[in-house]
């Protein structure tokens, strides 16, 4: 675990990534903490570990408690874990559910997980953070089919492979170049800009998209079936590289250069939503993709392509004339609070964003039936996905949302309250 963390994880999220070790008992948690402390010291690593478990554990004649091993009250464990030096959290039941730490990047699992407990535990990694583009679970105790069975009730499809050959990355690389859509020289040119950019520059996506415009022009001239094959190949390469690079260190720098090139290109060549089914892999970064449980119990999903039957309401929400003024109020309040100069034209863009959310029947139902804190998580995930589309329609607003976390939070808060109020007004009798 330590070797993997130092080789593959430590540098993630601007060298702030943290890991959780899920153990099978309180005794195991104690022994893991002792072993971690010993190994960290022996290797001269500047990291520290915390432990979380309830009660007291006796082992080898010694009595251990969470407070005693950490050196402070157990009520301070979660807060202390936010400090930079603490990179590992060893847990036994505690913090496996309801724990929100966005810097949590990797989970090492040494415990049997099943059902909703598996979903809740692994979902601790789902919290987003600027610069967090991926997560990873290294599981030492469970089988592939067991985890798939746990997640399946909550998802239309669970993509999970028992084993992956690292050489497949080279196969996908060769497949991409065989389309003759772009050259290695263009990939090198893009990489030179990407690796020479600051973190702030990397959030200004328009600069990188501009480099890809000649490739996009060639793509637009292809037949629809060839475009579809290229989209699929780009998605396969990005997903495969992200997964394998978290386990192995590639000596071939060209693979990573192609990864960043493909990651941006696939956003630029998204499928036309009016002609094709909505494809998640084309709409969002899978390396940033997160899943979360919004309710307990099995969700029955309609299979195939078609319209979903309403669950318990007459239809999707529609923006009424009376809600135009609140949208104007949102723009006005943002301008007053953050000194921006957004106009009525920007209100129209926000209106489009709101309407796209309001016509999502599954989201409306989730917000209607769940407690506010759970409903907010569902709403925020969907809203952030749709906000990615602003890069093409209103880059000024998109840039402010992605660059200013406080601005993004206020906007989401106001939209959510408006959305939730409307959803609850439309409750069936």
Cβ-based neighbour number of residue 310 at 10 Å: 13
Q: Give the pLDDT score at 202.
A: 58
Residue 274 reports pLDDT greater than 50: no
Q: In what order do the strands lie in the sheet with 48-52?
A: 48-52, 86-91, 18-23, 104-110, 136-139
Indicate if the pLDDT at residue 34 is higher than 70. Answer: yes
From 251-260, 290-299, 393-402, the region with the lowest mean pLDDT: 290-299
Instruction: Identify whether the C-beta of residue 219 lies closer than 8 Å to the C-beta of residue 201.
Output: no
Report yes or no: 292 and 97 within 8 Å, Cβ to Cβ: no
Q: How confident is the model at residue 231 (pLDDT cuts 50, 70, 90)?
A: very high
- The DSSP code for 228 is H
- Whether 380 and 366 have beta carbons less than 8 Å apart is answered as no
pLDDT, tens digit, for every residue of 70-98?
A: 999 988 998 999 999 999 999 998 887 76
Distance CA 296, CA 157 (A): 18
pLDDT the model gives residue 425: 65
Q: What is the pLDDT of residue 32?
A: 96
Beta bridge partners of 21: 90, 108
Rg of the chain over Cα atoms, rounded to whole angstroms, equals: 23
- 49 pLDDT exceeds 80? yes
**Would the pLDDT of 68 be above 90?**
yes
**Residue 361 pLDDT:** 80
Vertex 384, ends 383 and 390: CA angle to 5°? Answer: 95
Top-confidence residue, 117 or 429: 117
Residue 161 in this model has a pLDDT that exceeds 70? no
pLDDT at residue 287 greater than cutoff 70: no
99-141 pLDDT, tens digit per residue, is 888 999 999 999 998 887 888 888 888 888 888 888 889 999 8
Among 67-71, 251-255, 303-307, 322-326, where is mean pLDDT lowest?
303-307
pLDDT of 242 > 90? The answer is no
Report pLDDT for 99.
80
Indicate whether 61 pLDDT > 80: yes
Under 8 Å between Cβ of 123 and 97: no
Residue 293, pLDDT > 50, answer: no
What is the Cα–Cα distance from 281 to 159, expressed in whole angstroms? Answer: 12
Whether 292 shows a pLDDT value over 50: the answer reads: no
Partners of residue 23 on adjacent β-strands: 110
Residue 320, pLDDT above cutoff 70: no
Q: What is the pLDDT of residue 107?
A: 94
pLDDT exceeding 70 applies to what percent of the chain? 78
User: What pLDDT is stored for residue 80 in this prediction?
Assistant: 93
**Contact yes or no for 305/297 (Cβ under 8 A):** no
d(CA 220, CA 101): 42
| Residue that wins the pLDDT comparison between 320 and 188 | 188
Q: At residue 163, does pLDDT exceed 80?
A: no
Across residues 179-194, what is the average pLDDT?
90
Over residues 259-270, the mean pLDDT reads: 88
The pLDDT, as a whole number, for residue 185 is 92
pLDDT at 401: 85
| Look-up of token digits 């153990």 | 23
Query: What integer pLDDT is reported at residue 392 of this predicted model?
Result: 66
pLDDT in tens, 370-402: 777 778 888 888 888 788 777 667 778 878 887
Q: Tell me the pLDDT of the chain averaged across its residues.
A: 79
> Given pLDDT bands bounded at 50, 70 and 90, which one contains residue 288?
very low
Residue 182 is predicted with a pLDDT of 94
């Amino acid at each position: 675990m330590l070797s993997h963390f130092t080789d593959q994880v430590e540098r993630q999220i601007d060298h702030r990534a943290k890991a959780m070790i899920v153990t099978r008992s309180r005794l195991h948690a104690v022994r893991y903490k002792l072993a971690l402390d010993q190994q960290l010291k022996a290797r001269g690593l500047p990291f520290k570990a915390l432990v979380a478990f309830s009660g007291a554990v006796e082992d080898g004649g010694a009595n251990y408690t969470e407070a005693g091993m950490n050196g402070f009250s157990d009520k301070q464990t979660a807060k202390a874990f936010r400090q930079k030096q603490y990179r590992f959290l060893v847990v036994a039941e505690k913090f496996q559910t309801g724990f929100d730490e966005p810097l949590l990047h990797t989970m090492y699992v040494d415990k049997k997980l099943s059902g909703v407990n598996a979903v809740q535990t692994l979902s601790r990694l789902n919290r987003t953070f600027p610069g967090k583009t991926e997560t990873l679970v290294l599981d030492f105790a469970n089988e592939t089919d067991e985890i798939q069975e746990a997640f399946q009730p909550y998802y239309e499809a669970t993509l999970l492979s028992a084993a992956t050959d690292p050489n497949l990355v080279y196969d996908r690389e060769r497949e991409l170049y065989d389309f003759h859509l772009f050259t290695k020289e263009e990939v090198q040119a893009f990489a030179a800009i990407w690796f020479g950019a600051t973190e702030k520059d990397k959030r200004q996506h328009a600069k990188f998209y501009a480099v890809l415009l000649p490739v996009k022009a060639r793509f637009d001239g292809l037949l629809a079936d060839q475009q579809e094959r290229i989209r699929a190949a780009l998605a396969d390469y990005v997903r495969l590289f992200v997964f394998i690079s978290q386990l192995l260190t590639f000596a071939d720098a060209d693979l990573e250069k192609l990864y960043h090139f493909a990651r941006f290109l696939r956003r630029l060549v998204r499928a036309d939503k009016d002609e094709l089914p909505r494809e998640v892999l084309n709409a969002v970064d899978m390396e940033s993709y997160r899943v979360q449980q919004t309710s307990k119990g099995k969700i029955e999903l309609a299979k195939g392509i078609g319209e979903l039957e309403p669950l318990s309401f007459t239809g999707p929400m529609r923006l009424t004339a009376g809600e135009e003024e609140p949208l104007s109020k949102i723009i006005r309040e943002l301008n007053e609070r953050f000194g921006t100069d957004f106009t009525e034209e920007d209100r129209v863009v926000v209106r489009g964003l709101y309407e796209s959310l309001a016509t999502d029947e599954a989201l409306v139902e989730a917000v209607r039936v769940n407690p506010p804190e759970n409903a907010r998580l569902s709403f925020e995930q969907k809203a952030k996905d749709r906000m990615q589309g602003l890069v093409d329609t209103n880059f000024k607003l998109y840039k402010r949302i992605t660059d200013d976390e406080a601005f993004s939070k206020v906007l989401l808060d106001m939209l959510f309250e408006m959305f939730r109020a409307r959803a609850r007004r439309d409750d069936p009798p």
